[in-house]
């Protein structure tokens, strides 16, 4: 009977119980840089205190909803102006994973291939119900924007990093990145701890 209740519960709401904005706010990642004390090797002779840091992504206005046209990419730099920060926002005219807007069809992704850093700007294509980016000019990797940028062919073994978006009135903001941008050890570079 317990399994039956759990099954009915998920059918009842059929949606995520927390928005991306709430997740970022509740997890403490959406604000500023913080120093957090951590213990390594707790309970052993090698126990050491170190400082960890929590770094928040910048909230950057990248477009206006009223100015978007179906299948016309808007390129922007995010999360900074550093290496491989080129990203693309597109109104795909069909529901996409992680999409915002009334039809959940507005998404943004890094435009650097996750295999060997090939440039993907200008590689957005519409074929029937498919919304893809690719083929990468290096090794032909192709990514499905309807399914969170998952790799569907080629040599890449990771999905395209998805830029998390928020819609506030007519303004579209980039607020984070899901996945590691190619060529970086961490997505945010040159962050000063204050």
Q: Which residue in the block uniquely carries the two structure tokens 């090794």?
A: 139
140 by Cβ neighbours in 10 Å (0-12 / 13-18 / 19+) ranks as middle
User: Per the structure block, which two tokens stand in for 142?
Assistant: 């192709």
Which one from 71, 75, 115, 148 is the annotated catalytic residue? 115
DSSP conformational letter for 159: P
- Please say if 139 is a catalytic residue: yes
Sign of CA dihedral 34, 58, 86, 105: positive
Letter string b/e over residues 84-103, b meaning 16 or more CB atoms within 10 A of that residue's CB: bbbbbbbbbebebebbbbee
- Please say if 13 is a catalytic residue: no
What is the rounded distance in angstroms from the CA atom of residue 117 to the CA atom of residue 68? 28
Which one from 75, 130, 139, 148 is the annotated catalytic residue? 139
What is the rounded distance in angstroms from the CA atom of residue 94 to the CA atom of residue 104? 7
Contact indicator for 94, 83 with CB cutoff of 8 Å: no
Enumerate the active-site residues. Answer: 115, 139
């Amino acid at each position: 009977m317990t399994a039956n209740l759990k099954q009915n519960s998920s059918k009842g709401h059929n949606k995520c119980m927390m928005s991306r904005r709430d997740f970022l706010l509740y997890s403490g990642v959406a604000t500023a840089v913080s120093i957090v004390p951590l213990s390594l090797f707790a309970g052993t002779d090698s126990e050491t205190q170190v400082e960890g840091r929590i770094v928040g992504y910048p909230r950057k206005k990248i477009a206006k909803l009223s100015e978007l046209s179906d299948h016309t990419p808007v390129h922007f730099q995010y999360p900074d102006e550093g290496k491989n920060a080129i990203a693309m926002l597109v109104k795909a005219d069909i529901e996409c994973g992680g999409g915002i807007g009334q039809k959940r069809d507005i998404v943004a992704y890094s435009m650097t291939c996750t295999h060997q850093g090939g440039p993907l700007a200008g590689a957005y294509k519409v074929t029937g119900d498919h919304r893809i980016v690719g083929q990468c000019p290096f090794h032909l990797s192709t990514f499905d924007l309807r399914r969170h940028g998952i790799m569907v062919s080629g040599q890449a073994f990771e999905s395209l990093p998805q830029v998390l978006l928020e819609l506030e009135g007519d303004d579209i903001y980039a607020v984070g990145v899901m996945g590691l941008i190619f060529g970086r050890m961490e997505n945010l570079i040159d962050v000063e701890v204050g």
